[in-house]
Structure 1
Amino acid sequence: MERTALPINWQQEALGFLSGLYAIKWEKDISHLYTQTAALILQYAHAEKISFIWQEDSLTATVLYSSDPKLQGDYAHAHDIDTLIGADVIRKDRNTKLYPGDGHTTIWIPASADDFHSVFALQISDKLDVNDPGFDIFLDHALLGLRSVVMLIRTYYAIDELGTRFNAILETVPQAIVFADDAGKRAWVNATAASLLAIPKQNNAPHIVAAAMQNLRTSAVNKGEIMQQSLDLFSKPDQVVRGWKWIFRTPALKVLSVDSSPTVSENVKGRLWVFTDVTAEYEAQEQLRLLNIELAEKRKIAEEQSEAKSSFLANMSHEIRTPLNGIIGMTSLLTETTLSSEQRDYTETIRTSGETLLSLINDILDFSKIEANKIELESVPFSIQDVLDNCVQLLSVKVREKGLKVGYKIDDDVPALVKGDGVRLKQIMLNLLSNAVKFTEKGEIAVLIRKLNSEKDEHHLQFIVKDTGIGIPEDKLHKLFSAFSQVDSSTTRKYGGTGLGLVICQRLVELMGGNITIQSRYGDGSDFIFDIRIGAVTNSEPLQLADNTATVQEMLDMPVPATLAILVAEDNEINQKLIKRMFDKIGLVSDLVKNGREAVEAVRNKKYDIVFMDVMMPEMDGLEATEKIISGNEGKHIPVIIAMTANALPGDRERTLEAGMKDYISKPFKLDDIREKVEKWSGILGDAHSRL
């Protein structure tokens, strides 16, 4: 039977279709969008059926929507529609697999956007003339409209995919994340945040989220601080916060680090909150803070104890050295008088006992200074041979008494002058030689000095002290360099000593960049071997003869008076008597004052050449008195001021020189010490000796 076509105004239908599309393009639900689009094309194309097919991959295609419920969700082989989807033109077929049977035509309208491939399939009744040019024009307009819809669908799919990925990320991170807009219309929390806020994950109602956030703030231990900072934060919408600490005890400690930043999306302003559990880090930091406080307190106590120890040592040094000064000084004067052999023996015993006690005190003070790291080495030119000669001379009496031989050999390549602390090197050598003399009953003691190597500014020297003494058992060697330790108790009873000498030597050698070792066998003597690194002396560096800050030129420029005017400032009556007698022995007249204030007054009223100034005196100490004498005589004659002190701690000498004193003499002192200072600063010792 012949087909009857219905008269249709396809131009009007195309206009109606495009107008309808414009209205539904604002639909943001993807399924609603393609469902309404399919219904619209079904209506204006006067089709009997409509299907929207999406190619998932190269093998599978899915009917996302069909007006025929039986086709909804069906899968088809992608290659069946592959040529249709990839085509740029509309295709008309009869008897297709999608719509089998006679009496209709299938119109394929390909609509793809980037990687989203799809096709709309219309079933047209034979009552319509599918070859009508007007129908073709309608299909061309429909093609453009459907492609624009598919572009939207593809965009929404991409957004939905990104949203899914983003949500998956937010749900798996350990942080609790909360978003709330400023208008109170939108809110979102991830699962961790829902647990933290104690709200159902599926319930993101803004008012519920806001109430839960408020409850969280007010349950914190530091809620006052949080509420105040929250007010500041909400008054400044653009403010970003990092590392804000919210502390809870429910009942266990929980600390959240809170970050908050403003967000703007599609003209929706809001704030993103990120909560990170930092309880472990907070507890560790708190423990570290408490530990630091404890350490600071212990350090303070240790410093106070060290200061108390230093103060005690200073007082002990002063209190013991002051009477020792009288004992040793008076003994030295007594030995220069006419004495019987018995009296001289008694006097020598007193002198030896006093010097032994002084040696013990010096060892204890040196050890304390070393333990406190308060020893600083000097760096001045000196002669190694002079150091050895001085040591041998000091030990000569004991050496003669025991009938020993003492000698030394310095290799030819050892420089005559070196730069370092000659006083401390003398202390090391004197200690080792004293031990050698003490523990050697017969035979000899030898000192060997050789150069190991040299650099531009430094020499590496080795010292060996050999003796033929009693030696040391191998199993006792480890005790030698331990504080307050002797090889055995019988050694202390027989030979005496504190057991500090070798410890002090070891520490001093280490300060000089070297090491000390011992080679010994019981009964065969001992070899003490140490090396030091010491500075080289350039040709332009003269040997310093004076152990003070005054220059040689300063001493040469001093006028040499025919007779010296000497002032002694000393508060101790025994020491006053001692030093007065010493000056009498030298043949010099001295005036005595008993404190710093009287010394200042005396210098103001009389011109003195040398002032021997005790450092520790009542009313005004020697340092203050020195400063007043110097400041009160600017542009006038200023006497040479020599410090007398019973202190022996770090900084004592430096403080006297800083005050303006020119030299330093340590108590207890002997007649020769006073004579040496007078000779050094006056140059008239020859006249003094002629009057002895």
Structure 2
Amino acid sequence: MSTWDRKALNFINQTSRWDKDKHISSFLAFSISLVKNLTEANVALQVELEDEETAKVKCASPVHLNDIVMNPDPIRKLLYAQGFKTIYWREIPPAKENVFKEVLPAFSSAIIIPINTTPNNSLLILGWSEPQAFDPGFLECIETMRLRLKEILLQSQQHLYFQRIAVRFSAILHTIPHALVFINNDGFSGWVNQEGAALLGLSGPGEQLPAILSDAMTQLRNKALNTADIYKEAVLLFSSPENSISNWIWQMEHKTLQVSCLPVTTQQISGRLWIFE
């Protein structure tokens, strides 16, 4: 196995372990830094074409290059002219022709690696202060890294997208005036909103073990003035094929709760949603 084959395999192995063991938010920065170290480049960075007017440097090593803003038009023209293939500059063009002069002001060789993603295009830039030969083994190594980087970038973007969705819906659910309690059938996961945590006397909203939620709801039910009626309805609920109930009255000492229990079933989860109004 050649040196460049070993480096390509090293890159895949290390990014695969990071994928499982570390936080996704720093995954891309770690991967770009790893490419820099394995290729012995002097600079490595990501350029993201954010919109029609802005291309921004991210995940840069050295870090002082981060947040440099560039004109995306010349970059797009270069990428389209090269068919979005990896560009190898054994000698960096003169300043007038170097669309990356802001980040490659005094380097001898560079590589521009397009990573096609939507909605934005992203590319990785590597630069060396000394001239590079870019032999066939090196080219094959870079192509292997490019494919893995494309996977990493897509995975990072998907994770951040779902993270934003989770934050958004969590904020919505916590502002609903009803107490919401979800208990997953897996026996390991459950969730309660702000009103639900207050009603059940829990320390706070968010993820909770099903055993804790079930115990808190049992204690709440035992405080009701109509426990016999609640028990009868519970028997019907857990024996009914629909596994649902609504307008279920829990008469407490100082208030009346209207309780609903609905099954929640998707490909990912299966459980019950309790709503206390």
Fold shared by both chains (TM-score > 0.5): yes
Residue matched to 2:184: 181
Q: Assess, with a 3 A threshold, how the Cα gap between structure 1 residues 45 and 222 changes in structure 2: closer, same or farther.
A: farther
Helix, strand or coil: the match of 1:70? helix
Distance 1:212 1:63 in 2: 50
Correspondence for 1:247 among 224, 240, 251 = 251
**AA of the residue aligned to 1:136:** L
Q: Residue 30 of structure 1 contacts residue 156 of structure 1 at CA under 8 Å; is this kept in 2? A: yes
1:104-149, Cα deviation, whole Å (9 max, x unpaired): 43322121323143222223342642x3232222222222221122
Q: Assess, with a 3 A threshold, how the Cα gap between structure 1 residues 118 and 222 changes in structure 2: closer, same or farther.
A: farther
Residue matched to 1:42: 36
Q: Residue 240 of structure 1 contacts residue 262 of structure 1 at CA under 8 Å; is this kept in 2? A: no
Residue matched to 1:111: 115
Distance 1:187 1:225 in 2: 27
Cα RMSD, aligned residues only:
3.3
Q: Assess, with a 3 A threshold, how the Cα gap between structure 1 residues 167 and 123 changes in structure 2: closer, same or farther.
A: same
Helix, strand or coil: the match of 1:126? coil
Distance 1:69 1:37 in 2: 14
Correspondence for 2:170 among 167, 177, 180 = 167
Is 1:76 the counterpart of 2:69? The answer is yes
**AA of the residue aligned to 1:153:** S
Bigger CA radius of gyration: 1
1:246-285, Cα deviation, whole Å (9 max, x unpaired): 22232xx33323232143453x44322223x3xxxxxxxx
TM-score calculated relative to the size of structure 1: 0.34
Q: Residue 107 of structure 1 contacts residue 124 of structure 1 at CA under 8 Å; is this kept in 2? A: no
Residue matched to 1:588: none
Distance 2:216 2:58 in 1: 41
Distance 1:85 1:167 in 2: 40
Q: Report the Cα offset of residue 152 of structure 1.
A: 1.7
Identity %: 26
Helix, strand or coil: the match of 2:141? helix
**AA of the residue aligned to 1:77:** M
Q: Report the Cα offset of residue 90 of structure 1.
A: 1.6
Unpaired stretches in structure 1, ≥5 consecutive residues: 1-7, 278-692
Q: Assess, with a 3 A threshold, how the Cα gap between structure 1 residues 29 and 263 changes in structure 2: closer, same or farther.
A: farther
Q: Residue 27 of structure 1 contacts residue 33 of structure 1 at CA under 8 Å; is this kept in 2? A: no
Is 1:91 the counterpart of 2:87? The answer is yes
Q: Residue 259 of structure 1 contacts residue 274 of structure 1 at CA under 8 Å; is this kept in 2? A: yes
Residue matched to 1:213: 217
Residue matched to 2:263: 261
1:298-319, Cα deviation, whole Å (9 max, x unpaired): xxxxxxxxxxxxxxxxxxxxxx
Helix, strand or coil: the match of 1:180? strand
Q: Residue 13 of structure 1 contacts residue 138 of structure 1 at CA under 8 Å; is this kept in 2? A: yes
Q: Assess, with a 3 A threshold, how the Cα gap between structure 1 residues 107 and 173 changes in structure 2: closer, same or farther.
A: same
Q: Assess, with a 3 A threshold, how the Cα gap between structure 1 residues 239 and 37 changes in structure 2: closer, same or farther.
A: same
Give the 5 Å matches for 1:538-557. Answer: none
Q: Residue 194 of structure 1 contacts residue 200 of structure 1 at CA under 8 Å; is this kept in 2? A: yes
Distance 1:20 1:81 in 2: 34
Distance 2:58 2:239 in 1: 50
Residues matched between the structures, number: 264
Distance 2:192 2:47 in 1: 36
Distance 2:13 2:241 in 1: 43
Residue matched to 1:122: 126
Distance 1:56 1:150 in 2: 14
Residue matched to 1:195: 198
Q: Assess, with a 3 A threshold, how the Cα gap between structure 1 residues 56 and 222 changes in structure 2: closer, same or farther.
A: farther
Give the 5 Å matches for 1:412-491. Answer: none
Q: Assess, with a 3 A threshold, how the Cα gap between structure 1 residues 247 and 108 changes in structure 2: closer, same or farther.
A: farther
Q: Report the Cα offset of residue 15 of structure 1.
A: 3.2
Residue matched to 1:270: 271
Q: Residue 241 of structure 1 contacts residue 261 of structure 1 at CA under 8 Å; is this kept in 2? A: no
TM-score calculated relative to the size of structure 2: 0.76
Is 1:225 the counterpart of 2:229? The answer is yes
Distance 1:271 1:15 in 2: 46
Give the 5 Å matches for 1:599-678. Answer: none
